[in-house]
């Protein structure tokens, strides 16, 4: 492994450990505020609130690129009609990565909102909070290279991946029952 790969591995491992700790705490203490047998209305409200983190992240990316294009004559015609400045390419890469993360998170949060037992519903807003923090850290670190953005990427991705795995478990268990 070269130094860049080590930096990425350290960032991703650190994010994994921090996400695991936060999700563990959310699993232990998050369900104490939710009445057993959470209503459909509560689940939908929780889902709506949790989806605002990915939506806000996507909004910020779109707005940053649109603002840049508006004020930069070389980029005003969009990426399909111009080569694009390095700044436009960077903002497009941030938008693309965020869009990929948002699609996964929205799908997983939606499924979890309906599949999870009420004592695990606290995992969803915890993952959403980590999503927004992870995106901010990813944006800040992006231009510094892969090691600088690894923590932010992983802190966005791992909580969603963990929730997805738990949802698959519940789907299999309920399907087998």
- Please write the tens of the pLDDT for every residue from 69-109: 999 999 998 877 778 899 999 999 999 999 999 999 999 99
Number of domains in the chain: 1
Buried b (16+ CB within 10 A) or exposed e, 5-38: eebbeebbeebbebbeebbeebeeebbeebeeeb
- Please write the tens of the pLDDT for every residue from 27-56: 988 766 665 678 999 999 999 999 999 999
- The pair of structure tokens assigned to 64 is 């940053």
Q: Are 54 and 112 in contact (CB under 8 A)?
A: no
| CATH code, 136 | 1.20.120.550
Across the range 11-23, mean pLDDT stands at 98
- Tell which residue, 171, 141, 164, has the closest CA to residue 14: 141
Domain that holds residue 49: 3-32+39-176
- What span, in angstroms and rounded, lies between the C-alpha atoms of 167 and 145? 33
pLDDT of res. 42: 92
Q: Chain-wide mean pLDDT for the chain?
A: 92
């Amino acid at each position: 492994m070269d130094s860049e790969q080590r930096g990425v591995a350290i960032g991703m491992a650190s994010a994994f450990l921090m996400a695991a700790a936060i999700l563990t705490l959310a699993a232990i203490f998050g369900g104490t505020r939710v009445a057993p047998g959470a209503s459909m209305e509560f689940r939908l409200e929780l889902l709506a609130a949790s989806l605002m983190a990915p939506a806000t992240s996507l909004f910020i990316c779109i707005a940053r690129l649109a603002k840049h294009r508006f004020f930069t004559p070389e980029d005003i015609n969009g990426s399909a009609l111009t080569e694009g400045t390095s700044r436009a390419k960077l903002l497009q890469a941030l938008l693309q990565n965020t869009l990929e993360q948002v699609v996964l998170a929205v799908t997983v949060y939606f499924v979890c909102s309906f599949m999870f037992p009420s004592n695990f519903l606290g995992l969803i807003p915890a993952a959403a909070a980590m999503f927004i923090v992870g995106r901010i850290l990813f944006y800040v670190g992006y231009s510094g290279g892969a090691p600088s953005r690894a923590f932010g990427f992983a802190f966005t991705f791992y909580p969603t991946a963990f929730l997805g795995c738990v949802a698959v478990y519940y789907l299999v268990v309920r399907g087998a029952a």
